[in-house]
Each structure stands twice: as C-alpha cells, then as structure tokens.
Structure 1
Amino acid sequence: LEKLPADRFASAAEFSAALANPATTTLRPGVQFTAANRRRGWLVAGVLALVTLVAGYLIGHRQTAPGSVGPGEVVRATLAFGDSGAVQSIGNVRLAISPSGRRVVFVGSDGADQQLWIRELDQPTARPIPDTRGAFDPFFSPDGESIGFFTGAGGRTALKVIPANGSAARVVVDDSVASYGGGDWGDDGNIYFTNNGRSLSRVASTGGIITRVATPDTANGIKELDFPDVLPGSKFALVMLWKGSIGGNHIGVVDLETGQTTDIGPGSYPRYITPGFVAIGTSDSRILVARFDARKGTLIGTPVPVLQSVATDASNGTVQYAVSETGTLLYQQVALGGDALVWVDRAGATTPVDTTMRGLIQNLALSPDGTQIAVSTTETGESEVWMKQLRTGAYSKLSFDVTSADRPVWTPDGRKVAFLATRNNLRTAWTRRADGSDSTRPASPGNAKLDEIWLEQSGRYAVFRSEGSGTGSRRLLVVENGVDTVPRTLIQSRFDHYSMVLSPNGRWIAYVSEESGAPEVYVRPFPNADSARFAISVGGGIEPLWRRDGAELFFRTSRGEMFAVPVGTGTTFEHGTPQRLFSAPGLMQSIYHRGYDVHPDGKRFLMVSSFSGLTTRQLNIIFNWRAELEKLKQAPR
C-alpha cells in the first residue's frame, strides 16, 4: 500500500490500470526490493488480491483514525515499552495520551532522575524526549504536536512546553506554579494550571500575562483547585476540589469566564470523555463514569463504576489514567493488591512487615517501643487511622466520630496517638488512647485549623502546623500545655514551613522551609526558634526525622533518596555532611508531612512500598472505550 497509496486515484479501475504501468511504481527510500522473476506469478496474484481489497475500501469509504478501531469495536490491550522504557513511580501524574490517540507520553527514567518518554502507537518502542529532565504531569496540545509538562529543578516549579518531536523545551511560567496541581491545554490557545496560591490560572501557550481564573471556596472547605481538564470550547474545566485528604476530595466544574466553581460530587480525578461523559477517578482505585453536559457543565445521572484496580497516589489523589478525544483509555493498573508496609535497612534492602496487610496507605507512625503501628488508610474511600499490633497481628480502627483522619503521631510514652481529622467542617488535631479505651478528644485548645502535629518528649509542649493552601500559608505553631489558650506562632514568613519534628531531648526543631526557593531541611533551637538557624540539606530535602537517640537526622529528597546527617543535640547544635544511604523511588513519599518512620534501633526504616505506583514497563489501553460507555445511557437517572 505504501508503494501505491490508494488515495492518489479516483476509482479502483484507475488504480488497477496504474498497477499495470511500471512507470507509476515507486519504492520508499531505504527499502530494497529484491523479488526474483520466478516469483512474478505470485506477485501478480498478490496484486490482484490487493486490487480487490482496495476496491472494497474505496467502495466502503471506511476511514479509521490512528489510535482508533472500527465503530462499535472495543479492544483491550497491553502497551509494552520494552527494556529501555519504564513508567516511573512519582507522586504525581505520570502519563498522558494525545487527542488523536496516536501518541502516549509517560514519565520514565533519566538515570538518576526522571524525564519524559514518548511512544508512537505505530512504533514498537518508546524513546526519551531530550530536555525534559525532572518532568512530571505531562499533557498534550489540542493538535497533539506539543507537550506541556512541569519541572521542579532547584525547588522552583516551572511550566514548560516542548514539541512532541523532541526539540528544545521552552519555559512558559516559572514564578507562580504550584509544586503539584497539574495543568491542561485548552483549544483557545491557553494553558490552565494550578498556581502556587492553589487557585486556577491561565496563560497563553506562548507565555505572557498570567490571569487568575478561579479561587477555592474556603468557606465550604475547599482548599485547592487542582489538576484541571479543559472541556472542548474552553468554557469549562473539570477540577479536583481538594478538601484536606484524598478521602474527602470532590470534583468540580469551573466556569472559565466567570470563575464560578460548582461542586458536582465526591471523587478525586475527573476527565472528560467526548462526547458527553465524565470519568471520575476515586481514592479507592476505581473509575466511575456518568453522562455529562459539556455545554452547561452539569452532571447527568449517577456515576456508575466501570473499572477498578487503577493506580492511585495516596499523597494527592491523582489516578493514573487518561482518555483521548477518539475514545481511547490509557491507564496504569494496581499491582499485587495495593500498598504494603516494609522494613528498609540502611542499604535499601526491603523486608515485608506483614504480607496480609494491604490497602491504600497514606501515613504511618511507629510506637516508641517499636511494637505497634498507627497507620492512615483509605480502604473504605474515607481516610481513617488504624492500629496494627506487630506481635499479635491484631488490626483495629482508632478514628471514630471524625472524617478525613490521617497523619498519626505517638505520645512519647506510647499510650496515645494524635492525628489530624475533621469534625463539623473543622480540620484540627485530636488524640485517643492507642488501645481505644477512651473517646476522641481535641489535642489543641481553641478552634485552629491544623494540618500537622508533633508532641514534645516531656509533654510540656505540642507543635502544630497550620492548614495550608497558598504559598506562605503554612506556618509552625506551638502550645505550652496548661498555659496557652490558643496556639502561638513559632515560625512564620512569606514562605511555607512544614514537616516539623522535635529532637528527642526537646531542644531542637527540624523542619522544611521553601525560603531558598526549594524545599530544604533546617534546624532551629526550641522553643526560642528565632535565636539561630542551621541549613542541613543541599539541593533539596523533605521529610526530616530524628533518630530515637538524637545522634542522626534523616531526610529524603523528591528523587526518593534517603540521607543521614550526624548531629549533636546538646546545649549547642552540631551537624556533619549529609550521607546518602540509598535511593528507592518506589517507596511512598509525603511532601508536606512524612511517609516513613525510624525503628528505635536506628538500623531500619518503616516505609510504604507503593505497589500502585511501582515502576512498570507496560500500561493498559482500551481502544474505542467510548462505545462501551454508550451502554450507560440505559442506566437510570
């Protein structure tokens, strides 16, 4: 067919006549044609068969776009990337499909870092895209010829665009992009993205003036507008309505002209399906589908579950799937039944903690004696805190009468667990006895909106972090128990401060600050935090945690590396050079908190092996998925 494209001729008869004329026969450059004369009879028979096929094609006028199949045909397949390409585990969106369904882009490896890879569906392998180091959350332009993405080099998140053929990338925005929150390219020529104030902004794809489109309705508990999906016509966008935890997320529709945001129900990661459907990724790894009026931006009918076991990120609620305009669904499947707790030694070797314990794990905390684990999970679609007894294997729920419970920590005596949760639309800190023998009680005086807690060894102080949304909104607070009636400011500036932990002797506080333009780990005296400051990490640092004897300070990087810093925590603070222990990108991270704990012996770490996001060399693909969804029109409204 490549020798003689059928579309050069007006009819099958004209095409047959051309075949008989040697002067019209052409060869593709680089292809050597070596058929012998003794095969001429076979060639003639083949040509006659070809003429028959082409005639049928011309009569039927059937045209199937690349990335599609015939009308009504639903085809399920596995898209393999071979040894050279693999989808990396990152705490963000890691895949996209072009509007035509012809191209797939994903976050793959760049040696020690990550970069974008692209797979043309008519090619056998994927190839890396140069100049995309550190990329995450890719998305295509409406014509599929360019790719938008984000990078976080040096801690400053930038929005960039690169041609799909892989020439140089260019920066579109580099001063007001959220560290995560996503973006999409509208057919009006604008890119819509979550800004560092957690609102929705737009900018021309060529760069220029940035316009704020919509802000979160904080009065109704909405803190962020994340991961937009712009509908055809660029009048509306679907967004994630972040309410503090993935179990509490809703989805919404933003009017891109007025900025009005409408909450259309529970869910985490919505995507529009042309024409007239919306897919809703949920925190429990499912995809639901409902009919949707794109002209009015309204949901029609009740969402119906259509797919399960889809990879979900426990830190931000993204669900790893994408849909093309031609109706092709691309998704990453959950492997091995969900996340699992593992011990990781100082060399990076892992050992399962309990092979029977599976689920979508958000945070964890190891008891002071190392025999119990407080863990937050979303097994029921709602974030809850549970207790795991390592000696007996017993597993019981701890958080009752609250919602969106997560981020547990232990009291120093090991008798109680403190955690964050919501009651009466107020997210704050709570405590309960680890054995469940009392009721859930407030851990902080007043009605402060809080998002982290840490308890000082003597019980005299409690440290909190305020609930954050925009840049500079995360500040550290302190309460002297029995003295303060409301939390007092401990550390505050126009930059964010979070992930705070007190040293075992209570004299020093380690935390993460973005004051340098990148998340880095710092240490200050406690409680007189303004008297000194020590920079610990270089080139990025998150999730600090002290060794139980105070001899080391650990932290991680966004690349999954674990570092240990020798420290002295007496009346003066001393620290050495950070030493890299291991790198494990497949182990869960928690950007604004912690995704691990340290065993009392200091020789191993309790971490989460995120099976829903392990590096994989294949993705699942369903061609003409839209045809399958048409059956949902018969579902009751």
Structure 2
Amino acid sequence: TAEKDLTARSDVYSLGSVLYEMLTGNPPHVGASGQQIIMKIVTEEAAPVTQVRKSVPANVAAATAKALEKLPADRFASAAEFAAALRNPSFAPTTVGTAARTAVPWYRGPSAVPLLVAAVVLLAGLAVWGWLRPDPPAAVARFDIRVASGPDPATIGNGASLAIAPDGSHFVYVTVDGNLYDRALDQLESRALPARGFAPFFSPDGEWIGYADGTALKKIAPNGGPPLEIATVSADLFRGGSWGEDGTIVYAPDISSPLLRVPDGGGPSDTLTRLDTARGVISHRWPEWLPGQHGVLFQACRGSLDRCEVAVLDLRTDSVRYLVPGTSPHFLSTGHLVYTTPDGALLAAPFDPDRMALTGNPVSLLEGVLVRASWNAEVAIARNGTLLYLGGQSGGYDLTLVDSTGTGQVVLPDLTDAQAPRFSPDGRRIAFTAALEGPAEVWMFDRTLETMSRLTFEGNVLYPVWTPGGDTVYYSTDAGSSSRNLWRRAADGSGMPERVLERTGDQYEIALPATGGVALMREVTATGSGPELPLRPVGEPRPWVVTEFSERAPSLSPDGRWAAYTSNESGQDEVYVRAVPEPAGRWQVSSGGGTEPLWAQDGRTIYYRRADTLFATAVQTVPAFAVGRRRIVFTTPFEQLNNHTNYDRDPRTGEFVVLTQTQGNATTIVVVLNWFEELRRRMAAE
C-alpha cells in the first residue's frame, strides 16, 4: 500500500491479505508481474470475498474488507480488534468499502466462525513468531576472484597488496607493476585507479584510500579525483597505515622506525611509539587503531619474521604490552584479535579492547595464508565479516650476478628468506644466509664448482662477513641465548663456532677492517644503537656513534680511516660518512634517500641503494674528505631490506651479487562471505 510508516494497521492489512487468500484461494490482487500487482493494490479495490465464496459469513467478509482498506485509518487499529470482529456475527462496518453485501444463511455463520477465528489467531501467532525469531545464521560462501590488468592476468604485488572497504562492498589490490585497482564484489571487472603504490588502507567511511607511492603517504577517492599527499615516507619501505575515526592516521614510515601519526589532511607527523631497544626491537609495523582510538595494535620486530610479536599501545597510559608472537594484527567486532604466524596460519583469540588484553587461548582458523618478505600477511577483513586473502607462499629471491651495465645472471634461483650475500676476498665463493633446511643459516656457493655447502647449524643466523684473509666468517645468531650475539667460524667448516663477545644487548652486522685497526658493529642496547665495536684481542668495546636515531649498515673504507653508514636522523634514510676511530665530522653522501652503503676497494667510490636503483658517489679522502658527483649504476628488483648491505662487489671483476625478488604467481584472491559465522563456530567448538 506504499505506506511511509509501518504500524499495527500495516500488520492488519497483511493478516487480511492472508485470510482473503485462505477464504478465496487467491490473493486480494493478482497480476502477470510484480508491477501489475502493485498498481492494482494502489488503484483497485479487492473483489468482495462473497463474490468468490458465497458461503462466507457476512461479518467475516466485512471484517476482511475492513482489514484491506487502503487508508490505514480505515482499518482495525490492531490484530485484536480484527479477531474480535471475526468472532462477532453482528459485526458490520460503518463504511462498507469493499465489504460484501451478499446475504448468507444465518445458520452457516456460527459454525464457520470458530474455525475462521482459530485460523486468524494462528496466523497472528505465526506472524509474531516470524517477527521476533532471530535470523538464521548467514551461510558462509567461498569463491575466488581472478584479477586482471588489461587483457592479461595480473600478478598481485610483492608487498602489502590488499585492502577492503569497511562495508565489504569493494576492495583494492595492487599488481606487481604497482598499479592500484578497485573491484566491487558485485562486478565482473576491476577498475584502474589513477595511482601507483602499495600497502593500501581505507578510511572508516570508505570515502578514501590511503597508500604509499615510494616517496609519500597519499590518499585518493575510489570514485575519482587526483591523489593528495599527506606525509613523507622513506623510499619503498612504508609498512602500513590505519585511519582513525577522528581523521588521524597512524603509520609506519619505514622498516626501522617507530610508529608516527598525522592528520589525514596533512601536516607535521609526531612520534607515537618508541622502539624497545632493551628488548631488541628494531621496527614497528602494520598498525591498526582500536575502537575509540585509545590504543593501537601493531607488530614489533626484532630482526626477522620469526622474531615479530603482536603488541598494543595503550594511549591512556603510554605503555606497550606484548601479546603473542605473530604478524598483521586485526581487531574484529566479534571481540577477537586475529593475526598470522610466519608459516601462514591465521589465528584468533578473544580480546578485550578496553583492558587491551587477551582473554582466551588462540585458535587456528585458516592455513596457507601468504606471508610476505615485508613481514605481513595478505589478509583483509571488512566490518560485515567478508574476508579476503591470498594463498600460497611468498616469492623467494634469486641470487643474481649483475655487471655494470645492469645485465643479470641468476646463479641460485628461488631462495627462501635469503639475505646479505658476500664475496670471499678472492671472489671464488659467496656466503649468504637462507632458510633452506629450517631456520636461516650461513650457506656457501662455490662459483667454480657450482656447489653449495652449509657453514652454520645454530639457527636464525644473519649477516655473514669474511675476514680479509678469507679464512673465517663472522655472523650474528640468537642460538642458545635470548639476545643476538656475534659468532665466528672457520670458512672451511672445520672446528667449532666461537662466540666473539660476552655482552648484553643484541649484536648485529659487523664491518671488518682490511688491514687491521678498528672494526665497527651495530649493537642494540637499552641506551641506543649504532656501529660501535673496536675488535681487538683484549679490551672492551667502546661506543662510536650512539644516538636516538637508527644507525646501521656500517662499511669501512679500505684504509680503515672512514666509515659510511645509514641513518634516519633527517627524517628519512640517508648515507653518511664519519671519521674512524673518532667520529669527527659528518658528510652526507646520498641525496633524496639512500641505504646500504658499500665502499669500493679503491676507496674512491661509495655505492648505495635507493629502492631498486644502485648509485655510485665519487669521494676523496685526502687531504680531507669530500663528496663528488653521483651516478646511477643500474636498476634491478632488489630485496627491500635495509638494516644491512644486501649486495656486494667482486674485488676482481667488478661484478655485483644481489638478491632480486622473484614474482609470485598469485593471480587469484580468495573471498569468504559471512566469515564471522565460521569464526564464531570455530571459537565455540574449542
């Protein structure tokens, strides 16, 4: 009847329609289509009941007609009045409307009334039960969406690639070429956005998409318009953002910094967290605001994927609580914290967002979620319970030899969690770490024999470095200790590994002098981090550079008088040089961002990386240090880890060894509708 407000009189009309069909065998209005029926309801009176069934008592026909009046005011005020009229043989409306005027034998009325009344009462009860009963659980449905970029299937990007709108109606994904696409779940095609970047995330109202494009944190409206810049971030190292209800964005600007926050309209960023260096934490990543914005979930990492923890910042007390090992935390409206393990298992645990504490044990919900080398899981969850994820394993890394023209030759393909390749002094062997048979260990590749051998067996080893004579390899491991320590072993595998230092704090990469003198090591302690270690047979190490910033990846000049290193003191990573052993002076070598310095063997060039480009800067060291011109050496898809120098140069041929990212084969996104129902069932079953 096209009523604006649904009242008890609307219910009376519905009951009258049901009763009319019970009495006559047909609805009050019929038509060939829904439109025809609606038109008849609005413009025509229903045929009198007695016109079809003459045996219907007059009061029943009149009550039915009154229930079907087009104006609500002309109907019964309630179902009780309707039922009373059906029980009353003398009922007759003051305005007949469509009431029947055909007389029926009086003796038929009393015998029919009880049955009709019982039917109406039953119908009323069924209607009330239908209105009050809880909706049945929505069915969980799974299906794949094959994404495409143009006519060919696209491969989802190698970093954080998925985000879903809060209402679950559409999602954004990033292809391997960096293009952003928007896809509605009820559409067959994706729509390209005028933006390139990675790590997308939605505003709470779904009106904006935040993302990083390599130099800035930006936002773009999914329905059109140009990108708008919000804040500066470090190269391609942005590690996630979350948009609060009040318009504040919390984000991780790079892989070695605490979390920052900035207004979504742009402006200065302020620091939200502090790296817990006493715990060995080197970065905070993948943040998410909790409801009410009293807290932030995030990922605290201590140097490798398997040393990451889900943590929560309580802004009311400015304190951090470490919850559980894992990555990519999300809080759900169901009252659960979900996160992912390094091997791709999605887990959930009851979580109290007010106390910011787990209130129950975690339960495994899903296996085979893709976990990236950027230490995030490819999972996106909407408020309505729609889940998206990529399955499989992240693409590995190829150990590649690259000449000065940028021409590459893969010598070891598809290595898992590989890092820090280093040529032996004679160039015949390459040491690197990789997780080939369990946790990461030091492996050796003999270029002449083309054979592989394993050097360490401690587990979770990082950053191998050759001694100048090529007879020993130094490395960092957490074996047998709660902290990371510097060890060494003979390069031919003979003898037992030897711990170099007995110190508190985590010891990471080391730079050894070519001709004796001072070595530099990055040590993370409660007082800060920086390259700092004079390696001598006796004596204690002393600090070289200790600041509130992140100094890392030291590289010594061949004469041992200078050291290049990476620092974020300017707000982004740049390469600097200081004198050794006393850190007198400070010169900036890179411009526009730079990481992972490497000093050439002739001492006249410092190499460094920015994103996928290798640069060379000319320097002079006598009579004083000076920075010369910069040039591009080559561009290749470098492994995007910058806590240490992740490439090396052959002292004989000038070739470079790099770890290049291999593109995974993820071309489909798994969609699970009403996933919260499955979550509730699984949690209740435990």
TM range (shorter): 0.7 to 0.9
User: What stretches of structure 1 of length at least 5 have no aligned partner?
Assistant: 1-9, 22-59, 62-68
Look up the match of 1:138: 200
Do 2:441 and 2:454's aligned partners in 1 also have CA atoms closer than 8 Å?
no
Letter in 2 for 1:129: P
Does 2:609 correspond to 1:556?
A: yes
Higher relative contact order (CA 8 A, sep 6+): 1
Pick the aligned partner of 1:365 from 404, 422, 436. 422
**TM-score scaled by length of structure 2:** 0.69
User: Partners in 1 of 2:37 and 2:451 — Cα distance?
Assistant: 78
User: Partners in 1 of 2:268 and 2:594 — Cα distance?
Assistant: 32
Note the 1:180-579 alignment, pairs <5 A: 180-187=238-245, 189-194=247-252, 198-200=257-259, 205=264, 215=274, 219-222=278-281, 224-232=283-291, 234=293, 237-284=296-343, 286-295=344-353, 297-298=357-358, 300-304=360-364, 306-308=366-368, 310-313=370-373, 316-333=374-391, 338-355=396-413, 358-378=415-435, 382-390=439-447, 391=449, 393-400=451-458, 404-422=460-478, 424-444=481-501, 446-447=503-504, 449-467=506-524, 473-482=528-537, 484-489=539-544, 491=545, 495-530=549-584, 533-550=586-603, 552-558=605-611, 560-565=612-617, 577-579=629-631
What is the CA distance between 1:184 and its match in structure 2? 1.2
User: Partners in 1 of 2:517 and 2:281 — Cα distance?
Assistant: 34
What is the CA distance between 1:463 and its match in structure 2? 0.7
Do 1:346 and 1:604's aligned partners in 2 also have CA atoms closer than 8 Å?
yes
Instruction: Provide the secondary structure at the position in 2 that maps to 1:184.
Output: strand
What is the CA distance between 1:563 and its match in structure 2? 2.3
Structure 1 residues 404 and 73, CA, compared in 2 at 3 Å: closer, same or farther? same
What is the CA distance between 1:256 and its match in structure 2? 4.8
Letter in 2 for 1:607: V
Do 2:278 and 2:525's aligned partners in 1 also have CA atoms closer than 8 Å?
no
Does 2:643 correspond to 1:592?
A: yes
User: Partners in 2 of 1:222 and 1:515 — Cα distance?
Assistant: 18
User: Partners in 2 of 1:287 and 1:392 — Cα distance?
Assistant: 36
User: Partners in 2 of 1:345 and 1:592 — Cα distance?
Assistant: 24
Q: Which moved further from structure 2: 617-626 or 176-185?
A: 176-185
Do 1:247 and 1:381's aligned partners in 2 also have CA atoms closer than 8 Å?
no
Look up the match of 2:165: 98
Structure 1 residues 94 and 115, CA, compared in 2 at 3 Å: closer, same or farther? same
User: Partners in 1 of 2:632 and 2:286 — Cα distance?
Assistant: 33
Letter in 2 for 1:77: I
User: Partners in 2 of 1:278 and 1:545 — Cα distance?
Assistant: 42
Q: Which moved further from structure 2: 171-180 or 121-130?
A: 171-180
Q: Among all aligned residue pairs of Structure 1 and Structure 2, give the percentage whose two residues are the same amino acid.
A: 30
What is the CA distance between 1:299 and its match in structure 2? 5.7
Instruction: Provide the secondary structure at the position in 2 that maps to 1:300.
Output: coil
User: Partners in 2 of 1:298 and 1:447 — Cα distance?
Assistant: 31
User: Partners in 2 of 1:199 and 1:70 — Cα distance?
Assistant: 41
What is the CA deviation profile of residues 367-426 of structure 1, one whole-angstrom value per residue up to 9, with x for unaligned ones? 2223333322345774443444443623325152xx643122111111222122335333
User: Partners in 2 of 1:177 and 1:596 — Cα distance?
Assistant: 18
User: Partners in 1 of 2:393 and 2:263 — Cα distance?
Assistant: 39
Letter in 2 for 1:118: D
Query: Which protein has the larger Cα radius of gyration, Structure 1 or Structure 2?
Result: 2
Do 1:564 and 1:580's aligned partners in 2 also have CA atoms closer than 8 Å?
yes
Do 1:290 and 1:299's aligned partners in 2 also have CA atoms closer than 8 Å?
no
Look up the match of 1:28: none
User: Partners in 2 of 1:162 and 1:461 — Cα distance?
Assistant: 51
Do 2:160 and 2:372's aligned partners in 1 also have CA atoms closer than 8 Å?
no
User: Partners in 2 of 1:427 and 1:383 — Cα distance?
Assistant: 14
User: Partners in 1 of 2:653 and 2:224 — Cα distance?
Assistant: 46
Structure 1 residues 261 and 535, CA, compared in 2 at 3 Å: closer, same or farther? closer
Instruction: Provide the secondary structure at the position in 1 that maps to 2:140.
Output: coil
User: Partners in 1 of 2:176 and 2:440 — Cα distance?
Assistant: 32
Letter in 2 for 1:79: V
Return the structure number with greater strand share: 1
Note the 1:30-45 alignment, pairs <5 A: none
User: Partners in 2 of 1:324 and 1:97 — Cα distance?
Assistant: 6
Do 2:365 and 2:679's aligned partners in 1 also have CA atoms closer than 8 Å?
no
What is the CA distance between 1:212 and its match in structure 2? 6.6
Look up the match of 2:194: 129
What is the CA distance between 1:483 and its match in structure 2? 5.8
Structure 1 residues 270 and 518, CA, compared in 2 at 3 Å: closer, same or farther? closer
Structure 1 residues 426 and 101, CA, compared in 2 at 3 Å: closer, same or farther? same
Q: Which moved further from structure 2: 410-419 or 10-19?
A: 10-19
Look up the match of 1:605: 656
What is the CA deviation profile of residues 194-248 of structure 1, one whole-angstrom value per residue up to 9, with x for unaligned ones? 5899555656545689787665555554454431223455555432122232221
Do 2:235 and 2:593's aligned partners in 1 also have CA atoms closer than 8 Å?
no
Q: How many matched pairs?
A: 557
**TM-score scaled by length of structure 1:** 0.74
Letter in 1 for 2:166: P
Structure 1 residues 372 and 324, CA, compared in 2 at 3 Å: closer, same or farther? farther
What is the CA distance between 1:457 and its match in structure 2? 0.9
Letter in 2 for 1:561: T
User: Partners in 1 of 2:385 and 2:437 — Cα distance?
Assistant: 30
User: Partners in 1 of 2:409 and 2:285 — Cα distance?
Assistant: 35
Instruction: Provide the secondary structure at the position in 2 that maps to 1:407.
Output: strand
Return the structure number with greater helix share: 2
Do 2:280 and 2:505's aligned partners in 1 also have CA atoms closer than 8 Å?
no
User: Partners in 2 of 1:88 and 1:536 — Cα distance?
Assistant: 35
Structure 1 residues 525 and 215, CA, compared in 2 at 3 Å: closer, same or farther? closer
Do 1:346 and 1:581's aligned partners in 2 also have CA atoms closer than 8 Å?
yes
Structure 1 residues 101 and 364, CA, compared in 2 at 3 Å: closer, same or farther? farther
- Cα RMSD (Å): 4.2
Letter in 1 for 2:208: S
Structure 1 residues 417 and 204, CA, compared in 2 at 3 Å: closer, same or farther? same
User: Partners in 1 of 2:588 and 2:258 — Cα distance?
Assistant: 31
